[in-house]
Amino acid sequence: MKQLLLRFEPVIWLLFGAGLSIGTMLLTGFVLIVGLAIPLGVVPADALSYERAHMLASNVIGRLVLLGLIALPLWKGAHHLRSLSIDFNGEARDGAVGGLLYLVAIIGSVGGILAVVRL
């Protein structure tokens, strides 16, 4: 399993980097708008009404953004947890832990793709 992870390491790092940037930029903005701006009245409450959110999700670009918001942070989290496991003397079980974490990221990504396609 360790050899397979080493073979796919560039792809994993690509997904990790994309998840890091998406999580930093888009999710932070989303949390600020939904968690602070709307409750404080800075943004009108109907800015994220069902009709507007559905219009965003039915657009091709909106679907890609939603898919990025769902799938890419999963890869970032999986890679961070793998690194944390290695930091706590988990080199011996890195193949199993890494494989399990990336399998969860794959399943979550496929679930996100299915959810976005079915919108």
pLDDT, one tens digit per residue, over 19-69 is: 777 777 877 888 888 888 888 888 887 887 888 888 888 888 888 888 888
pLDDT at position 13 over 80? no
Total domain count for the chain?
Answer: 1
| Residue the block writes with tokens 């949390």 | 31
Element (H, E) at 48: none
Which pLDDT score is estimated for 64? 87
Range of the structural domain that residue 11 is part of = 2-117
**Contact at 8 Å (CB) between 113 and 71?**
yes
Q: Give the whole-angstrom CA distance, residue 1 versus residue 14.
A: 20
Q: For the domain that residue 77 is a member of, what is the CATH number? A: 1.20.1300.10
Q: What is the CA radius of gyration of the chain?
A: 17
Which pLDDT score is estimated for 2? 66
**Contact at 8 Å (CB) between 66 and 118?**
no
Q: CA-CA-CA-CA torsion for 21, 22, 25, 26, nearest 10 degrees?
A: 180
- The predicted model scores a pTM of 0.71
